[in-house]
Structure 1
Amino acid sequence: MHKRIAVIGECMLEMNLNSDCRSHHSEPRLNAGLSFGGDTLNTALYMSRLGAKVDYVTALGDDHLSDWMLRQWRAEGIGCDLVKRETNASLGLYLIETDGRGERTFHYWRDRAPARRLLDSPQAAKQLFEQLQQFDAVYLSGISLAILSPYGRECLFDFLAKFRQGGGQVIFDGNYRPRLWGSETLTRKAYEQMLRLTDIALPTFEDEQLLFSDKDTNATLTRFRELGVAEIVLKLGGDGCLVVQQNHDPQLVPALKVVPLDTTAAGDSFNAGYLASRLAGNSAEDAAHIGHRLASTVIQHRGAIISKSAMPESPEVI
């Protein structure tokens, strides 16, 4: 029986601006057309492509671009029954500026995006949480937490505690974005509260250093263990990841060495490969290899979502 996972977050319209840092005379170039992306949506989509049963949980507007986005998600096999539609609202937008080394800078227009108000209505939140009880696992990120109102965030924490008590699995990717929070003290408190409710954590060491001033990976892993996280996958960029289960020693799983064109969605796609494999019953080490394989392919293409034809031939994960 396939495990079902609900992914909570925000998806926005995506535009891409390319520039080449190797030449001071190069003018930025805006790619034609629109795409879409968002950390949790990227993970949900790639998980679906790998055969996982995924539903996306968010709020969209009632405009034609929101209609278009929903059609794209359904075509990817993502369940959309839990996507809320808000009247007289439109989507958030982000622009990616990528330099000649594949490193990216993001520019956002998202302050009025409907996903920010997903849990602001007590009645709507109660209905959503009742629907989420049917899932085996819930996945969210630090961005999912950051965009919610303080009230919505506390409602989510209360639900996740009950969800775990009922046997559900909670999965969290820190994905720290300082501009979304405004206060490091508030962020650290929210992350610690979230980690106490987390079964599988997928942090990035660079983010942990930035937010918690961790001196080394041991500091990060120790904090996560003390907060009760049973399975930790600490992402180290091009060096791979450290996998820790229960009280076992960390195991380094190296990444594949490739030359990146655009590192957008590197961590999101790794998470997708890892989780699709783990939810299918594979070992953490095998899951990390699948995550690295997908991520190494994604970063050799521009944008968050690569074409289906560019997907790697992956080992069975279902």
Structure 2
Amino acid sequence: MSLPSCDVIAFGETMAMMVAETEGSLASVMRFHKRIAGADSNVAIGLARLGLDVSWVSRVGQDSLGQFIIDALAAEGIDVSRVQVDPRYPTGFQFKSRRDDGGDPEVEYFRRGSAASHMAPNDLPDDLIASARHLHCTGIPPALGASVHDLTRHAMATMRARGGSISFDPNLRPGLWPDTDTMRRAINALAFDADWVLPGLAEGEILTGETTAEGIAAFYLEQGVKEVVIKLGPEGAWYQSATEAFMVPGVRVDRVIDTVGAGDGFATGYISARLDGESPRACLQRANQIGALAVQTRGDMEGLPTRTELERALAAHRPV
């Protein structure tokens, strides 16, 4: 078997995002700034900024928004050679309001029937999976449609057979599923195939019925998951494996500007540290730090640091 030629493969839907330049309802705002958005590609960008070799798999429409997305991801140093331009379907996009009080912004999605929702297993061939050390997955792609769900199952099963590592962030989007029970069954079936599962506390409660971080972690460990990390928001994170369990406090933030993308920053920190060979405690410290940096910057991924910026923030670490 040949040695991996890249560090991480990630896949999913990147959307164009129109961000309001002023506060107010989306109906009243007249000026917007064009950016990109997508939980899966946020993590890909974060990992690339930290110096990892990342391959991104997706589809976009044959339109200006699709080209904008490809150019933006390539500018981050991500390999976009496996992004397909599909002339049959449009690129998904969203509108996002501006909040200057640190609250959650209003978001409207226009993604139904998008090019990315038609991805299928052959978009991620076995040889590409074999070329990577690690596969990162979330619960968003399988919610987009049956063929993307099949792609997710195929990618995880193939990477597991190849012996690479797999991370899974549930990233629940109930509005994309027909009902909660369907979502719970599908997400858990995928999570059981991962090595590292990264739910938020509220997500874990929905998925497992457990109300504590310890209970949620135990649920997944009993199904063969190796490491479970529960995101606890500003309080920090809980780590549990078969041999140890502990909490690492969060990072003090003077002002929260934009909460969207904090979980993706956390995943970036944990995955990158894990691939760097750091201890579990150090992995959580990095994850908490990048999550804290993410909420102090406007935009879904604009606050994700370079390696130098991360080292500077860790040196000035301020626990809650």
Answer yes or no: is 1:48 the counterpart of 2:58. no
Percentage of matched positions with identical amino acids: 24
Deviations 1:151-200 (A, max 9, x none): 44235324422321221211100111100112212111112211221001
Q: Which residue of structure 2 aligns with residue 38 of structure 1?
A: 38
TM-score (norm 1): 0.88
Q: Relative to 1, partners in 2 of residues 1:10 and 1:232: Cα closer, same or farther, differing over 3 Å? A: same
Are the equivalent residues in 2 in contact too, given 1:141–1:175 (CA < 8 A)?
A: yes
Q: Distance in 1 between matches of 2:304 and 2:152?
A: 33
TM-score by length of 2: 0.87
User: SS at 1:82's partner residue?
Assistant: strand
The CA deviation at 1:31 is 5.0
Q: For residues 200-239 of structure 1, what are the structure 2 equivalents within 5 Å? A: 200-239=196-235
Alpha-carbon distance, 1:128 to partner: 2.5
Is contact 1:50–1:273 with CA below 8 Å preserved after alignment? Answer: no
Are the aligned partners of 2:294 and 2:303 in contact in 1 as well (CA < 8 Å)? no
**Helix, strand or coil for the counterpart of 1:313?**
helix
Deviates more, 1:65-74 or 1:168-177: 65-74
SS at match of 2:309: coil
Structure 1 residues not aligned, in runs of 5+: 22-26
- Which residue of 2 is the match for residue 241 of structure 1? 237
1:10, distance to aligned residue in structure 2 (A): 0.9
* Cα distance, 1:29 vs structure 2: 4.2
What is the number of equivalent residue pairs in this alignment? Answer: 307
C-alpha RMSD of matched pairs (Å): 2.7
Task: Describe the superposition over 1:34-76 as per-residue Cα deviations: whole angstroms up to 9, x where unpaired.
Answer: 0001001111101100111111111111112211221111111
**2:252 counterpart residue number:** 257
Preserved CA contact (<8 Å) 2:136 2:166: yes
SS in 1 for 2:143: helix
Distance 2:96 2:200 in 1: 20
How many Å apart are 1:211 and its aligned residue? 4.1
Task: Please tell me whether the aligned partners of residues 195 and 228 of structure 1 are also in contact (alpha carbons under 8 angstroms).
Answer: no
Please tell me the residue identity of whatever aligns with 1:288. Answer: L
SS at match of 1:160: helix
CA distance in 2, matches of 1:215, 1:309: 33
Q: Which amino acid aligns with 2:18?
A: M
Gaps of 5+ in 2: 315-320
AA aligned opposite 1:14: M
SS of aligned partner of 2:106: strand
Residues 165, 311 of structure 1: CA spacing in aligned structure 2 closer, same or farther, 3 A cutoff? closer
Aligned to 2:13: 10
Given the superposition, is the C-alpha separation of residues 282 and 40 from structure 1 closer, same or farther in structure 2, using an over 3 Å criterion? same
Matching of residue 19 in structure 1 with residue 23 in structure 2: yes
**Distance change >3 Å, CA 155–CA 269, structure 1 → 2:** closer
Distance in 2 separating the partners of 1:181 and 1:9: 16
